[in-house]
Structure 1
Amino acid sequence: MHSQAGKQTGKQATAVGSAANKAQATSECQPGTLKGTLDSAGTSQAEMNHRGTFLKVTNTGDETCVISGYAGLALEGAGHTAIKTTTRHGSTYFATDPGTHPITLAPGKSAWADLVWTTTGADTAHAKYLQISPTGSNSHSTVTFSKDLDNGTLSLTAWSPEPPIND
């Protein structure tokens, strides 16, 4: 079972629903101003051979910007060797995909995505690191990710203003 240890206080980011003109006034987040990390957000995502955590991307720049869509991901093994990675976009075992929509990030604010993998032992990939490209560009953060996962396959939701988790 997954549980939420505590509710997030305040919004981490603001969704820009139908205010398209406001989104256009704010520029797209540039890869160099975003830092990707892994964060449990106070929840446990482990059930029926599924494991998960959240991707968190933080605006480290000086200006408000907009992000949308899905992060780019790549697994690395020992010595940062590339591992064949398949990323499935959409709902995960633990979260419904919020769909792609613009999220406005003020400096220091974050957006979230749910990251899930399975551990049944089928063609196990032994990852040591995960590359996170918040905008899908070549610019990325590399984080420690010592996980065994099936077939090098990851499931990922779109960016969301709060950690996307089904209650």
Structure 2
Amino acid sequence: MTGKQQKTSTARGRGLTRLGAAGLAVAAAAGLGLAGAGAAQALSSQAVSTVPTCRTSGLTASFGQKLGGGMNHEGVVLKLKNTSGHTCNVRGYPGLGLEDSGHRTLRSSVRWGDTYYAQDPGKKTLTLKNNQSVEAVVSWTHANAGTSGARHVNYLQVTPPANTAHKTHELRTWVDNGRLEVTALARRVPVG
């Protein structure tokens, strides 16, 4: 090899080395960009997941509009209000149960979805700041003591989603066969 050929060959080798280094730098930068995007996404999903689930102890249960109508239907708008002092999330359907005058649990069943009075808004994660409320529509039929499976109810048990403890709210009525229907919780459930 002549001196000129050797220089060209060395220059070409240095050029390839530079190209390789540049390629590695670009790949590293792209990798960091992807890692940065992944880290940013992880941080944003972490921010969402740091909002705790609303606990029973930080919520109050109350009744809004009472619903009546023909064909022995009755219902109520159930409201859950965040009184915890911090922001929390709620998602899904409240658990419901019935109690008699001595607070003994009565046999009951609950169907989630549309009710006689409202369409189901579907499950959505709702973020509640302190003092904000959500609602669900509860309905049942009642034929009073004339129905063999009628239950005389004094209280409604309300268990917020993702909880095991319940609130108890006075509800004096008859419920046929202990069957209740309830919509998912929403900011507002239109009654119609």
Give the shorter-chain TM-score range.
0.7 to 0.9
CA deviation profile, 1:129-154 (whole Å, cap 9, x unmatched):
11111125222111111110100010
Structure 1 residues 130 and 148: alpha-carbon distance in aligned structure 2, compared to 1, 3 A threshold: same
Count of residue pairs the alignment pairs up = 146
TM-score by length of 2: 0.70
- Partner in structure 1 of residue 68 of structure 2: 45
Moved over 6 A (4+): 19-22
- 2:121, 2:189 within 8 Å by CA — same for their partners in 1? no
- Partner in structure 2 of residue 58 of structure 1: 81
- 1:36, 1:58 within 8 Å by CA — same for their partners in 2? yes
TM-score by length of 1: 0.80
- Partner in structure 2 of residue 76 of structure 1: 99
Q: Give the Å deviation of 1:47.
A: 2.8
CA deviation profile, 1:73-100 (whole Å, cap 9, x unmatched):
1100121111001001000011000011
- Does 2:168 match 1:142? yes
Q: Which runs of 5+ in 2 are unaligned?
A: 1-43
In proportion to residue count, which structure has more strand?
Answer: 1
Q: Aligned partners of 1:65 and 1:131: how far apart in 2? A: 21
> Greater relative contact order: 1 or 2 (C-alpha under 8 angstroms, separation 6 or more)?
1
- Partner in structure 2 of residue 115 of structure 1: 138
- Partner in structure 2 of residue 133 of structure 1: 159
Larger Rg: 2
Q: Which runs of 5+ in 1 are unaligned?
A: 1-18
Q: Aligned partners of 2:170 and 2:188: how far apart in 1? A: 23
- Does 2:28 match 1:36? no
Q: Aligned partners of 1:152 and 1:88: how far apart in 2? A: 11
In proportion to residue count, which structure has more helix?
Answer: 2
CA deviation profile, 1:13-58 (whole Å, cap 9, x unmatched):
xxxxxx9777434222122111112221xx6432321111011000
Three-state SS of the structure 2 residue aligned to 1:52 is strand
Identity between Structure 1 and Structure 2 (%): 33
Root mean square deviation of aligned Cα: 2.0
Three-state SS of the structure 1 residue aligned to 2:69 is strand
